[in-house]
Structure 1
Amino acid sequence: MRAIRVASAALLGLTALTFTAPSAFAGDGDDHNITPFGFSVQPSTITAGGRLSLLLKRDGGCNGTVRISSGVFDTVTIPSGRSSATATIDRDARQGAVHEVTFVCDGVSGHTNITIGTGTGTGTGTGRSDDLSPLQVPVQQGVRAGVGGSVGGFDVKEIGLGAALVGGSVGVAWYMSRRCGASDDA
């Protein structure tokens, strides 16, 4: 009878652990845009007629020409060996609209969004052609390796639910073992 009690307690503990695991893997949906190369646009909010910097970090995952397209600028290519280009946003782009920018390299694509802000011009100046600053590539920083899930912080609801499930399964296992023990003694 002792083996049945131990097996049922182990099964309840495993069940509680199984129900807490999906919350560890649940994300906000941003991981569906993983590519072997890095990419970004600057600025992410730009005015109609402004110049958008298209930045690429190849990291060995993109060897060919990169094709970048969106509904608010003409298709741009970054040739092999280069890591940046610029695009001019259409002057008739609607303010407040969000547009997808697609980077395609070696058959792999990644997407990011830009927002059309208010005004006209470069997004930071008066809109005159002499306000256009040269492309400034940001300083690349290393990844935040080794911090695991602690980057996003703690979710008190998930921790509480996990603790309640584990505590409940331990409590039920203890109750069942005490109840079965009392019936064995009778």
Structure 2
Amino acid sequence: MRAIRAASTTLLGAAALALAAPAAVSVAADGVPAPKAGGRPAKASSAFLISPAVVAPGGRITLSAPGCASTATASSGIFDTVTIAPGSSATATVDLDAKRGAVYTVSFNCTGGVQGSVDLTITGGATATATALSTVLVPPRGVQGGLGGSTSSADAWTMAGGGAMVLVAVGGVAYVIRRKAAAGRRH
């Protein structure tokens, strides 16, 4: 009787571990840990700010110069020079031909002589903001059958975990059947 309790406890513990493991580690498709919720942080120096820190070609960035008491300009080879009023911010659109994965330097110049630079990383595909002209309404087509996202790429650890669970279940069933058969012969 103790063996059955121990086997069921072990089986339940293994199942709980297998179910909790995917929630404990969140990994993106490229093998890098997934970013935390809230998006990418802004990059800043002591007097200059770029947000977001990583942008796709064609994306928009917000530039500000809180360290400047006067008008500032921001320039880079991947967008037109932008003038920033004191105490405010300005936006710029990154050129579509910006090289993916590259890091560009954005130079800031204050009218009072303060200068500095902040790096901007280019990545991903082009971004677009939906407008009334670009929004397309699609009539409802009903439920789309199929796998519905129930499959994804299975790595070696997932396959090993699933195989181990199947082996434990088969072993448990075989053990219980054998014990019942042995108990039936004694009476």
Scaled by the length of structure 1, the TM-score of the pair is 0.43
Bigger RCO of structures 1 and 2 (CA < 8 A, at least 6 apart): 1
* Largest Rg, 1 or 2: 2
Scaled by the length of structure 2, the TM-score of the pair is 0.43
Q: Which structure's residues are more often helix, by fraction?
A: 1
Q: Which structure's residues are more often strand, by fraction?
A: 1
